[in-house]
Structure 1
Amino acid sequence: MIEKGISPNVITYSTLFQGLCSSGRWEDIDPLLREMGVQKIPPNLHTYNILVDAYCKEGRTKDSQDVIEIMIEKSVPPNVITYSTLMDGFCLTGKMDRALEVLNTMRNNGIAPNCCSYNILINGYCKRLEVDKAFNLLRQMPVEGLKPNVQTYCTIIHGLFRMGRPAEVHNLFHEMLKKGN
């Protein structure tokens, strides 16, 4: 590419990061970041979010948190995607208390959670068979100005079925229909 006179940009590098992370080539991440520095191409929000997501999918939430700290140091503020991805990483590793801390950090930083943010937490609780905590989040969504979607309801319904609570499934299903989901 460079030999052809085409200079890489942040999109090029982000694509490379996505590929390296997807193929588990973690040893190539730091050299590529250094190369970006030499080329004077700073990572952008999308680049950092790729790294946060990849680390979380590997269960490496500490590395994801380190990336977020670097983002803040470099004046690239995390967004709802960044924080929701970190919450998902904590849910995947069974650290629901940490996932809730991230939700609160997000709010404290002036970033409103979205439906996806809540669905991540609801799914995390349902996988742990803590459906009552998932219900609490469902009831909190309208307070945040959010409308639960079909995924929200289906996740809780699945959790209720797994816990042997069919009467509540029936009630929640009808609630979903009334609300037009």
Structure 2
Amino acid sequence: MERVARTRWTPDHISRIEKPMLSLQPRGGYVVADVKRQLDRVASLMRAGQPVPPISTAGLRQARFREGYSPESVKALFDNVAEWQRQLSQQQEAVEVAAGERPAPERAGLTWSREQQVWVREITFVSTRFGSSYETDQVDDFLDNVLRAMANGEPLPDIRSAQFHMARPGRGGYDAAAVDHFLDQLERIRPLS
């Protein structure tokens, strides 16, 4: 029977993401909707007991003439999530070792390099309201699945069959050409072993 590793997120973790205490600033902060979209994705992973891959602020737009979240407070929250994940992963590994179970890397068959994982984790796509664009949540979910596969030493999800809905006009989404180009590159990478 295959065991699915779960991350034991606490109600406090989830509450701190669902009701973040982020500072607002009159100009130059991150667009509130962009931050909220990232946090919604994190909260859904936490509620599902899934690990949360590191979150980058690189894809967040800055509000030039409107109020936005202060970059310092957003980065601090994202760093907190990464630290929570690290601590929970260490606790889970300690439980597995104490129970005599083999750690996941020994069960895994493939080795993805740190550089490959960082490349996927740090990829950012320009959001656009005009032209062809994909639903951001669907692209983000696919990238989460790719990172999870790499971390678990598994084959990547089938890239050729990845399909994303086009974003509704005026709503905005990730530039489709940039996403397609990234997927072409992703399809060519190979694990170390």
TM-score (norm 1): 0.29
Larger Rg computed on CA atoms: 1
TM-score (norm 2): 0.27
Greater relative CO, 1 or 2 (CA 8 Å, sep 6+): 2
